[in-house]
Structure 1
Amino acid sequence: MSTETIIEFISSYGYWIIFLFLFFGIVGIPAPEESLLFLIGVLIGNHQLSFAESAVCAEAGVLLGMLSAYWIGKKAGTPFLKKYGRYIGITEQRWNTAQKKYMENHRFMIFAGFYMPGIRQISPYFAGISKVPFHQYLLYSAAGSLSWVLPIIAAGYFAGSLFDINPEYVPYLGGLLLVIFAIYMLFKYAKNKSK
């Protein structure tokens, strides 16, 4: 989706579009969340969007996406895994191992998982299935989402203020971040395998 289309959607339907894109991106429907947040910052710097309304809608979309995925995982995750897990290679033993590892690091995964594409989408479902206490999940999700949403919007704002950034090129940032993340994960995998 082009930047012009996003701007047109926001102009036509208001800030709810920011909420919806980020909500569905967190729930797992592919959306370039980092690129969108950075673009929002650039557009705020260009006086095309309001900071307060953009930030509130972005944070609400992310947090409600996290809470929705948590409840889906909590209510439907275990029956889904029992019924269909074997078709995707998730045996009971593999699930128990994955769940044990997740619970050892669940606070970190919920809070810092926002900065890891893929983990950001899977972690809330894992938390729900693993029965992480809701108050704990809410606390780490809220803190993590704020520490992810606001700095990326701010980075877009300051970068857009310092440099003449064409909003058309901002979506490529998401691709660049994904490539950097993939290289990092491959490096980490190779390092662990060599041990």
Structure 2
Amino acid sequence: MEMWYDLISQYGYVSIFFLLTLGIIGLPIPDEVLMTYLGYVTSIGKLNFFMTVFSGVCGSIAGISISYLIGIKLGEPFIRKYGAKLFIKEKTVERTKKLFHKFGAYMLFVCYFIPGVRHVAAYLAGITGYKYRLFALFAYSGSVVWVLFFVTLGNRLGSNWEIIYGFTQKYLHHMLFFLITVIVIAIMIYLLYCRRKGGTTREL
């Protein structure tokens, strides 16, 4: 972690952008730990909170967009051949496929909060031919929520960020995944209700 901290100290927001970009693509960068630390740094005034969030969001959007384009242009053979070099395991690919089958495009929003899966989701979205508009809607909004959450967490925890993070990390992903799943299901039910109501109205 010290290497990442040194980069941030020297290059500031530019390094945040590139670290988050590379982390989303698949390099072994501890994204949540990094963002929580960044939140702490904003709490002591060494970084601006809004610029930190903005840099992180831009970086994660860039990373997930690159992954999506690779999926479109190079397809699944690329993941099969080079996935290991990007630290993407075969079982993670299969797990993500199952989650996509279950949640559809909503998975692009939820994936940020599931370690490993977020590195694969955009590749699979490109491979399976998701329209860019649909991809961007869920992937980019998820990026904003993800970055804002962890930077805010670190900002609120202050100097206790590392101690408390060690505790919350054990349960956080399960809690967030459950919460987001409930929200997604509620949205799907609402949209289905609106569609059926609209159909009934036209019949009348």
Asked whether 1:149 is paired with 2:147, we answer yes
> 1:182 and 1:35 mapped to 2: Cα distance?
13
Q: Find the aligned partners of 1:115 and 1:69 in 2 and give their Cα distance.
A: 17
Residue ranges of structure 1 left out of the alignment (5+ in a row): 185-195
Q: Which residue of structure 1 aligns with residue 200 of structure 2?
A: none
Note the C-alpha offset of 1:105. Answer: 1.8
User: 1:45-124 maps to which residues of 2 (within 5 A)?
Assistant: 45-80=43-78, 102-124=100-122
Q: Which residue does the alignment assign to 1:187?
A: none
Deviation at 1:128, TM superposition (A): 0.6
Q: Is the 8 A contact 1:116 1:181 kept in 2?
A: no
Q: RCO higher in 1 or 2 (8 Å CA, sep ≥ 6)? A: 1
The SS at the match of 2:115 is coil
Larger % of helix: which? 2
- Alignment check: 8 A CA contact 2:114 2:173 kept: no
The residue aligned with 1:27 is 25
The percentage of aligned residue pairs carrying the same residue is: 30
Task: Look up the equivalent residue of 1:173 and give its one-letter code.
Answer: Y
**Equivalent-residue separation in structure 2 for 1:82 and 1:21 (angstroms):** 24
Question: For the residues of structure 2 that align with 1:158 and 1:77, how far apart are their CA atoms?
Answer: 42
The aligned counterpart of 2:10 is 12
Query: Which amino acid in structure 1 is aligned with residue 100 of structure 2?
Result: Y
Q: Structure 1 residues 104, 180: CA separation in 2 closer, same or farther (over 3 Å shift)?
A: closer
Structure 1 residue 67: Cα displacement: 0.5
CA-to-partner distance for each residue in 1:139-163, whole Å, 9 max, x for gaps? 1011111111111111111111xxx
Displacement, 1:104? 4.6
Is the CA contact 2:113–2:173 (under 8 Å) kept in the aligned structure 1?
A: no
Distance 1:18 1:101 in 2: 29
Structure 1 residues 72 and 36 mapped into 2: Cα distance closer, same or farther (>3 Å)? same
* Preserved CA contact (<8 Å) 1:59 1:145: yes
| Contact map agreement 1:73 1:125 (CA 8 A) in 2 | yes
TM (norm. structure 2) is 0.70
Distance (Å, rounded) in 1 between the aligned partners of 2:39 and 2:156: 8
